[in-house]
Structure 1
């Protein structure tokens, strides 16, 4: 996208003819001003996505990581399947946890019905530090049938790509494979050190539709509510 050829956001917003019953002139003025910002936000999201896609080659993966899956042992290369791109979401369910993290579980539950679509383009797997039998039990408890889950029994992968000290933290990593070479492409690097005042650590754009949806409401995300494993 070349910004020099784009029409000003205000010009695009001026073409909006949407109106709703009984809205006030004050509301419409504010909504039109917000629409300008929404157009600019869309453009910024696309600029960031372009910068991400244009990253130079990441570090080559030279270590032989070993995972435990529902069908047995697997290498990092195995997780790609037939795809050239692999996404690994590391969720918080280490051996010290009695139950999986509610936030990770909520995020993962989002994808159950979308995984067939995602699988048309890339490989997406979920990895945690607990033994695979424990992960399978938790998966069944949620009623998930499409999630490809793996254990990182040694913690080698987790220490290299999620937490150096093997802390129970979430992680989102993307890998690419060209011929027989696997490289790290991108990871979410926003966290506690990059958050703004009054916000929980989160990335941008937010990949969890729960929070994106709540952002469209008057109440917003709130400051004292988080998903639970059951209600």
Structure 2
């Protein structure tokens, strides 16, 4: 755990940084160093939150025998762990009532596809949706995904229990982490952020925000467009 008492102040670290860029003004450097100090504090806060998350007591035991259908047939929730003690499941908004999947989910999963081989070195990972597996695999091929492990929630019970179905029966995205120890599967963490926890003028978002798209745009002068969202395709192209 990080020892807060022995940390050099963020302002002092920013002062030591000594990075400059061609033709910048003193006004820019002063403002940038002030921002750098805030960014250092943000990094430290992110780590404090991650430490607090890792220290959570055991979550609720999973007592139901959830079953899914993947490319190779039926599997249980326990099967999805493989040899790993931790399992991450992302619920993809692509239920049978949808003509097309959620563009936001698709954008995030497209970014994650290339990371899956690295992620699965450390934890098990699965993407679950309510559409039949044949439909999910067809879209995977169409989209050009290579690594995302897709599964159909055949009974929708898992999706309902772990907050991936809205009160009106519509799809909700969900991210859940599970652990298995001594044969016991438990829920570990869900972001739990939504409309109720959103700040004024902002879309509901988690912390951390899992969308690489927003992370990149947050570093630009324009920031996140207030009324723009990704699409499945642009001008007829992916």
TM-score range relative to shorter protein: over 0.9
Q: CA deviation at 1:168?
A: 0.4
Unaligned runs of 5+ in 2: none
Q: CA deviation at 1:76?
A: 0.1
Q: Superposition pairs for residues 62-81 of structure 1, below 5 Å?
A: 62-81=63-82
Give the Cα separation in 2 of the matches to 1:46 and 1:197.
26
1:151 aligned to 2:152?
A: yes
Give the Cα separation in 2 of the matches to 1:23 and 1:145.
44
Q: CA deviation at 1:46?
A: 0.1
Q: Could you say what secondary structure the match of 2:112 adopts?
A: coil
Unaligned runs of 5+ in 1: none
Note the aligned Cα RMSD (angstroms). Answer: 1.0
Give the Cα separation in 1 of the matches to 2:67 and 2:127.
14
Q: What residue number does 1:139 align with?
A: 140
Q: What residue number does 1:46 align with?
A: 47
Q: Could you say what secondary structure the match of 2:122 adopts?
A: coil
Q: CA deviation at 1:179?
A: 2.1
Q: CA deviation at 1:164?
A: 6.3
Equivalent residues, number: 231
1:229 aligned to 2:232?
A: yes
Give the Cα separation in 2 of the matches to 1:41 and 1:179.
37
Contact map agreement 1:127 1:149 (CA 8 A) in 2:
yes
1:92-127 residue CA offsets vs partner (Å, 9 max, x unmatched): 001110001100000000112111111110011100
Q: Could you say what secondary structure the match of 2:121 adopts?
A: coil
Q: CA deviation at 1:80?
A: 0.7
Contact map agreement 2:93 2:102 (CA 8 A) in 1:
yes
Contact map agreement 1:158 1:164 (CA 8 A) in 2:
no
Q: Could you say what secondary structure the match of 1:120 adopts?
A: helix
The TM-score with structure 2 as length reference comes to: 0.95
Q: What residue number does 2:175 align with?
A: 172
- Runs of 4+ with deviation above 4 angstroms: none
Q: What residue number does 1:195 align with?
A: 198
Give the Cα separation in 2 of the matches to 1:181 and 1:145.
32
Q: CA deviation at 1:167?
A: 2.9
The TM-score with structure 1 as length reference comes to: 0.98
